């Protein structure tokens, strides 16, 4: 007998932050793998557009408004998803945006607001979904973090604090869930081309990039695409039961550079050469 029953063929997935970027790409990949997906975000119209596309492609999808900073909104999203698609087997927490303020210039209420979305919002999803997973003795929780945990970036102090909190919470959650059949995983993307930060003006963007270069945080100009990170999330939840990918960091690969072709050695016609 196997140590663990295999994953069900059909695994309903809840995706927070599904209106764009990594969340939207993850929804498409999981739906293509045969899993029903519940798409949640404040921009519910975009979620509905994506859900319609998924359904046209033969997938099963539900769009529902979701504000992870509001406990009532999270409860309604989870309830609607379970009623329409079945008990959740997968939850992906990736909602949020970020500002570009320095820590000492950021209003404390704005600082707390970012923690409410990135950290407390992730906990709201966990608290509403994981008890049911534990009762069923299976499930996957994926918390989308950031490489700012390993290498903090300037002008992102609230985001850095929130993602450190997410990973700390995840480590405690992993310990508490050990032996329950439920896996909690952290996916930690590096620089990714999403909508986050796209609201910055050109001057702010230039200042931020210059600071990152000065601190050695921009080795090359390549960014991950949302599909790249989504592929990792899909792989994490598809890992056979009995294997737990606790932390996966994803970084953009630099462009391939090839050494210049070596010049052919010069052939000398010196005196005596070639004589027997």
Report yes or no on 3 lying in a domain: no
The predicted pLDDT at position 175 comes to 98
Report yes or no on 259 lying in a domain: no
pLDDT digits (tens, 9 = 90+) for 184-235: 999 999 988 765 555 656 677 677 777 767 666 667 778 899 999 999 999 9
- Which tops the pLDDT comparison, 209 or 136? 136
Look up 222 and say whether it is catalytic.
no
Instruction: Output the DSSP codes for 62-105.
Output: EEEE--TT-HHHHHHHHHHHHHHH-S-SEEEE---------GGG
Report yes or no on 124 lying in a domain: yes
Residues contacting 109, CB < 8 A, separation 6+: none
- Which structural domain, as residue segments, surrounds residue 219? 13-249
Query: For residue 275, what pLDDT band results from cuts at 50, 70 and 90?
Result: very low
pLDDT digits (tens, 9 = 90+) for 52-84: 999 999 999 999 999 999 999 999 999 999 999
- Which tops the pLDDT comparison, 47 or 200? 47
The predicted pLDDT at position 242 comes to 95
- Which tops the pLDDT comparison, 197 or 144? 144
Query: For residue 15, what pLDDT band results from cuts at 50, 70 and 90?
Result: very high
The predicted pLDDT at position 267 comes to 52
The strand ranges marked E within the chain are 13-16, 37-41, 61-65, 90-93, 139-144, 182-189, 247-250
pLDDT digits (tens, 9 = 90+) for 79-107: 999 999 999 999 999 988 777 788 999 99
Give the global pTM. 0.87
The predicted pLDDT at position 270 comes to 44
Active-site residue, from 68, 121, 159, 224:
159
Token pair belonging to 93: 């927490």
Cβ 121 vs Cβ 69: under 8 Å? yes
Report yes or no on 274 lying in a domain: no
The predicted pLDDT at position 166 comes to 98
The predicted pLDDT at position 157 comes to 93
CATH of the domain at 235: 3.40.50.720
How many structural domains are present in the chain?
1
The predicted pLDDT at position 259 comes to 82
Report yes or no on 85 lying in a domain: yes
The per-residue pLDDT of the chain, averaged, comes to: 89
Report CA-CA distances (Å) from 151 to 119, 163, 189, 246. Answer: 18, 11, 12, 19
The predicted pLDDT at position 221 comes to 75
The predicted pLDDT at position 273 comes to 36
The predicted pLDDT at position 215 comes to 62
Q: Can you tell me the distance from the alpha carbon of 140 to that of 11, in angstroms, rounded to the nearest whole number?
A: 10
- Which tops the pLDDT comparison, 57 or 258? 57
Report yes or no on 118 lying in a domain: yes
- The yes-or-no verdict on residue 264 having pLDDT over 90 is no
- The yes-or-no verdict on residue 272 having pLDDT over 80 is no
Report yes or no on 162 lying in a domain: yes
The predicted pLDDT at position 276 comes to 35
Report yes or no on 123 lying in a domain: yes
């Amino acid at each position: 007998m196997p140590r663990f029953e295999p994953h069900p063929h059909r695994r309903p997935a809840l995706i927070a932050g599904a209106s764009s970027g990594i969340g939207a790409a993850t929804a498409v990949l999981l739906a293509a793998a045969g899993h029903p997906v519940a798409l949640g975000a404040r921009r519910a119209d975009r979620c509905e557009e994506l859900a319609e596309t998924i359904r046209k492609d033969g997938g099963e999808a539900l769009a529902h408004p979701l504000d992870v900073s509001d406990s009532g909104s999270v409860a309604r999203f989870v309830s609607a998803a379970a009623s329409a698609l079945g008990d959740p087997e997968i939850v992906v927490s990736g909602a949020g945006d970020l500002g570009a303020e320095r820590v000492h210039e950021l209003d404390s209420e704005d600082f707390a607001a970012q923690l409410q979305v990135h950290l407390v919002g992730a906990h709201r999803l966990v608290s509403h979904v994981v008890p049911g997973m534990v009762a069923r003795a299976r499930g996957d929780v994926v918390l989308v973090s950031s490489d700012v945990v390993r290498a903090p970036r300037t002008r992102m102090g609230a985001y850095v604090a929130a993602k450190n909190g997410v990973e700390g919470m995840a480590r405690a959650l992993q310990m508490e869930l050990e032996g329950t059949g439920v896996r909690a995983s952290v996916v930690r993307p590096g620089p990714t081309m999403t909508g986050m930060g796209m609201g910055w003006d050109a001057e702010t963007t230039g200042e931020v990039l210059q600071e990152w270069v000065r601190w050695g945080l921009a080795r090359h100009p390549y960014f991950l695409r949302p599909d790249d990170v989504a592929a990792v999330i899909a792989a994490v939840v598809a890992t056979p039961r009995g294997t737990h990918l606790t932390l996966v960091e994803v970084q953009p690969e630099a462009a391939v550079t090839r050494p210049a072709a070596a010049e052919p050695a010069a052939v000398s016609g010196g005196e005596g050469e070639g004589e027997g």
